[in-house]
Structure 1
């Protein structure tokens, strides 16, 4: 599942409340994933392994969600 952020609000144009709820949820997920230091900063390892590491971290996050 690919997450995408809704468009940010402009000064003169407010976003729909439904889009705001969705955006906040996505931002919270990104914040939780950044507790893993490998995602918080610049990735300096082999690019070939980035997908594997990201999949492992999201798997851990999904496991935590299922146990709540």
Structure 2
């Protein structure tokens, strides 16, 4: 992914993952990629990937189950 310099990287990755949730790539109840998977796919630091996943959770799009990771919240 080529990043736009004027938009924070975490925000750009967040928008990609949010679009995947919206278009059904990650349907309700499915797991979203882990911090490590997001970091590897987009070439970002683990801390940045963690910020992305936290933003999805804060928006109410995902929820976290201890030991299982993050899943897409049902509408």
- Pairwise same-fold verdict (TM > 0.5): no
Q: Which has the higher contact order (CA 8 A, sep 6+)?
A: 2
The structure with the largest alpha-carbon Rg is 1
Q: 1 or 2, which has the higher helix percentage?
A: 1
Q: 1 or 2, which has the higher strand percentage?
A: 2
TM-score (norm 2): 0.26
